Amino acid sequence: MSAEPCYRHATTAAAVVCARCDRPICTDCMIQAPVGWQCPECVGQGAKKSRVSPTRRSAVGSTNPTPVVIGLIAINVATFVATGLGKSSRVDRFALQPINIHYFHEYYRLFTAMFLHASIIHIAGNMIALLIVGPAVEAMLGRSRFLALYLIAGLGGSVCSYLLGQATEFGVGASGAIFGVMGAYVVLARRRRVPMGPVVALIAINLAIGFTGNIDYRAHIGGLAVGALVALVYDVAANLRRPWPALALTIGFSAAVLVVLFALVVGITPGHVNLA
């Protein structure tokens, strides 16, 4: 009876099976592990998990400022300065305004609005919240996934404001994206069993404040929902054993969310549904 071939070298007979994945491997693929022999893929995955395990259990308050969070804060502050510290004549040109988005196809407003702020208090509150919660989420998801989540959640907030707000009303602020980051933290903390009470309280307080004064609560709700959903799928993808399915799920789901958001904007006239 012939020996089973190595899964990595089809023409070479296997000597043992990998102690981790039970696939047959030849002598060239055998790597001594703490328990038995493992294949190169399992050894590589084990090393990767060992490197990221301390940060994947990060909680709010236990993580230093991270590169993407610092970069986003810098972009927001630079944009605030460039617009004359929230000068309306400059801000309104790129702010969210549903009627201009739909009838004049100024779709860029859905994106640019999340980097604009109306006052020092406005930007300070948003950036402080991002600095509190963002590093932990970036540590758990990784830089690229965190940045993608931030932008997609921000767009989700813009689309929700577009659908449910007044057609001629201007909207600015990073709060939709930041609510998405907070929603993501709750999902990730729940899955990792790390403390999430302070962030839940922060969400509840800011949602309540959003229903008072001249604050766009619709962007908060949209960003929160989209951020939580995206974080769940990203985390499921990150825990898949093989890298290509994980990458395909991450990119595919991100693209699907963007298509749905764009379809809602193109297909629904502003003011058709109005909760103002």
The secondary element (H helix, E strand) that includes residue 247 is: helix 243-267
The DSSP secondary-structure symbol of 2 reads: P
Rounded to the nearest 10°, the torsion over CA 138, 160, 256, 126 is -10
CA-based R_g, the chain, Å = 23
Q: Catalytic: 144?
A: no
Instruction: Check 158, 220, 254, 272 and give the catalytic one.
Output: 220
Question: Phi then psi for 172, rounded to 5 degrees?
Answer: -140, 160
CB distance 137 to 228 below 8 Å: no
CA distance 1 to 20: 25
Q: Which two tokens stand for residue 98?
A: 């549903």
119 catalytic? Reply is no
Say which of 158, 161, 175, 254 is annotated catalytic. 175
β-pairing verdict for 37-38 and 31-32: antiparallel
Of 164, 45, 38, nearest to 96 (Cα)?
164
Q: What is the biggest distance separating any 2 CA atoms in the chain, rounded to whole angstroms? A: 82
H helical segments located in 7-119:
40-56, 67-82, 88-91, 98-103, 108-112
Ranges of beta strands (E only) in the chain are 16-17, 24-25, 31-32, 37-38
Assess contact for 133 and 199: CB atoms under 8 A.
yes
Q: Which residues are tagged catalytic?
A: 175, 220
